[in-house]
Structure 1
Amino acid sequence: MRRLLTVVLICLGITAGALVAASPAYATVFQTYGSGVNVRADAYLSSAVVGTLSGPTSIDVDCQKQGDLVSNSDGTSSWWAHVPALGGYVTVVYVAIPEDQLPGVPVCGDGPPPETSDITLADVQAMFGSRIANPSIVQTGLPSLNQAMRDANINTPYRKAAFLATLVHESRLEYNIREIGDTRVYGGRGYIQLTGDFNYGPAGQYLGIDLLGNPDLALSLQWSAPIARWYWTVARNINPYADNLDMGRVNAAIGYPAGAEDQRRCDSFKSALQYLTGSVPAGVICTRPSKLKGDTSQLTRTQFDTLAKNGGGLG
């Protein structure tokens, strides 16, 4: 069936190669077959179902990864196609190709960055408007912030939108901001409002600086952005949530209890997506899983990752 459908698509002139021109530059178009094919938050059958394809569908795939083995009457594959517009992964078993791995598609995280241009002051002002309260401070910090984004592989529109939307709410994108009214020794500081000795200690150890002894280093131009990068990729692993358009899990990963702030941050995420891509993709997730609605700030990365996983069902 997969080979037959591929031949039919070629005869109709709607091969993946013919459709790429209408897709984002970093995506390749494929056709699924069958009905009721699940779109999952990750490449595992235990991952949450974030959507279902009612019938054959053209999908824009930016990368692929290995996960759970899935079989049907036409074959078996452990490869899953990442479809940003759908906010998740589709098993390659239900993609109309003769191979068991997508041809010409990079492995997620291994390919060249599809987006490399630096963020400018004009960019963030267009995304967030009046939330940029001190443009001169934002401008001063942008070179270090752009470097931190490159170091953290925050190099796609989805990742940039999630990261910048988070920071504009944490710090108004000001590298030297101190949380108003917070007089604690290890209170909120810097781009990502680093908080608690349980973060200052590990962040300082990772970066080779004494943040416990000198917490104001988190306000410095030299260290504020690297600390934000550390939290995004080391204390937590947030890029995959951004890839899935899952701002609910992004917010939970930052470490504050669920509430009205979640929707405000998700609205900023959508605003950034609109600016960076020209539209707000379908499948943006603004709400958290029930297990992540409390204060998750003191969880280890492993503990958080365990709570962040859910799902069930087939395919």
Structure 2
Amino acid sequence: MRRLLTAVFACLGITATALVAASPAYATVFQTYGTGVNVRADAYLSSAVVGTLAGPTSIDVDCQKEGDLVTVSGGSSRWWAHVPALGGYVTVAYVAIPEDKLPGVPDCDGEVPPPAGDITLADVQAMFGTRIANPSIVQTGLPSLNQAMRDASINTPYRKAAFLATLVHESRLEYNIREIGDTRPYGGRGYIQLTGDFNYGPAGQYLGIDLLGNPDLALSLQWSAPIARWYWTVARNINPYADNLDMGRVNAAIGYPAGAEDQRRCDSFKNAIRYLTGSVPGGVICTRPAKLAGDTSKLTRTQFDALAKNGGGLG
């Protein structure tokens, strides 16, 4: 099918080489086929859909990367074309070429510039210093982590500061980290150190994966960030606490008992806000109310929200 479509487009004069002259110097033009083809934020089927191609479309591709295998009637491919004008990736399975990989197009190799407003490695190093212990791992995970932040509406300095300060203490911002010494089947894994079957089960159900049967998926580049996003917005509703500069309730929502760690995380929160805005506002709350001092990890969202109410509109 893809060979046939390639020939048809060639007869119509719609070829990559014929259209290159009209494209930006860095891009090569290809033609897609089919209808309703998704443009995704990254090269994975779990990545957010950022657009849809209604029908056959000319796309300007600057690089390509390996991701999830996509199989359609015309063939299959693990390669995804990065299309800057669309802000995402299109599977090569829906590009009208006879090959499974785009000819003459370089691999992305991490060189795709992040969208405006995304957090970079330099950003988190400036915020958290030596807590960024493995920069190469952090760098590898940032595209998926930034996408999770967009999906979770973590889009203000206070929300970004709370989220990143939490993750740098949970996992050092390493997507593939396992809690040291934790041999429990459902022990801490990934960006947010997902813990307990009461979290693995619902998170897997929400994302459509079997986390109970394969808990190490929580360590994968594909799922670690979406799991963190699920916890932040579904298992808990944490953005409003960040909006109120209430790091005490943010820490309680993560599910560990109150103690010295609360202040350490609050200090990281302030460092992140200072970096993102230039100053630390008054009113940052570092302590929790007494009713949230214990381990709240096994509470449902409804139960936690009831305890976390403070009469300030958060409930």
Normalised to the residue count of structure 1, the TM-score between the two structures is 0.62
Is 1:250 the counterpart of 2:250 in the alignment?
yes
3-state SS of the aligned residue for 1:261?
Answer: helix
Contact 1:116–1:155 under 8 Å retained in 2: no
Q: Deviations over 1:45-98 (max 9, x none)?
A: xxxxxxxxxxxxxxxxxxxxxxxxxxxxxxxxxxxxxxxxxxxxxxxxxxxxxx
**Which residue pairs with 1:132 in the alignment?**
132
**Which whole-Å CA distance do the structure 1 matches of 2:227 and 2:138 have between them?**
16
Shift of 1:214: 0.0
Q: Deviations over 1:18-46 (max 9, x none)?
A: xxxxxxxxxxxxxxxxxxxxxxxxxxxxx
Is 1:265 the counterpart of 2:242 in the alignment?
no
**Which whole-Å CA distance do the structure 2 matches of 1:184 and 1:209 have between them?**
20
**Which residue pairs with 2:278 in the alignment?**
278
**Which residue pairs with 1:157 in the alignment?**
157
**Which residue pairs with 1:237 in the alignment?**
237
Query: Which runs of 5 or more residues in structure 1 are unaligned?
Result: 1-114
Q: How many residues align?
A: 198
**Which residue pairs with 2:296 in the alignment?**
296
**Which whole-Å CA distance do the structure 2 matches of 1:175 and 1:169 have between them?**
13
**Which whole-Å CA distance do the structure 2 matches of 1:260 and 1:311 have between them?**
26
Q: Deviations over 1:278-303 (max 9, x none)?
A: 00010000000110000000000000
**Which residue pairs with 2:23 in the alignment?**
none
AA matched with 1:184: R
**Which residue pairs with 1:171 in the alignment?**
171
**Which whole-Å CA distance do the structure 2 matches of 1:116 and 1:241 have between them?**
25
**Which residue pairs with 2:61 in the alignment?**
none
CA RMSD, Structure 1 to Structure 2 (Å): 1.1
Matches within 5 A, 1:68-217: 117-217=117-217
**Which whole-Å CA distance do the structure 2 matches of 1:145 and 1:159 have between them?**
14
3-state SS of the aligned residue for 1:188?
Answer: coil
Shift of 1:310: 2.5
Contact 1:124–1:132 under 8 Å retained in 2: yes
Shift of 1:256: 0.3
Between the two proteins, what is the percent identity of the paired residues?
A: 93
**Which whole-Å CA distance do the structure 2 matches of 1:116 and 1:189 have between them?**
29
Query: Which runs of 5 or more residues in structure 2 are unaligned?
Result: 1-114
3-state SS of the aligned residue for 2:250?
Answer: helix
- Report 1 or 2 for greater relative contact order, CA contacts < 8 Å, sequence distance ≥ 6: 1
4+ long deviations beyond 4 Å: none
Contact 1:138–1:173 under 8 Å retained in 2: yes
AA matched with 2:290: S
Question: Is the radius of gyration larger for structure 1 or structure 2?
Answer: 2
Shift of 1:181: 0.3
Q: Deviations over 1:194-222 (max 9, x none)?
A: 00000000000000000000000000000
Q: Deviations over 1:135-173 (max 9, x none)?
A: 000000000000000000000000000000000000000
AA matched with 1:179: E
**Which whole-Å CA distance do the structure 2 matches of 1:272 and 1:232 have between them?**
18
Q: Deviations over 1:254-299 (max 9, x none)?
A: 0000000000000000000000000001000000011000000000
AA matched with 1:124: V
**Which whole-Å CA distance do the structure 1 matches of 2:308 and 2:128 have between them?**
28
3-state SS of the aligned residue for 2:258?
Answer: coil
**Which whole-Å CA distance do the structure 2 matches of 1:132 and 1:168 have between them?**
8
3-state SS of the aligned residue for 1:286?
Answer: coil
Distance change (3 Å), C-alpha of 1:220 and 1:237 = same
Shift of 1:122: 0.1
**Which whole-Å CA distance do the structure 1 matches of 2:282 and 2:128 have between them?**
21
Matches within 5 A, 1:30-49: none
Q: Deviations over 1:82-132 (max 9, x none)?
A: xxxxxxxxxxxxxxxxxxxxxxxxxxxxxxxxx960000000000000000
AA matched with 2:123: D
3-state SS of the aligned residue for 1:225?
Answer: helix
AA matched with 2:229: R
AA matched with 2:247: M
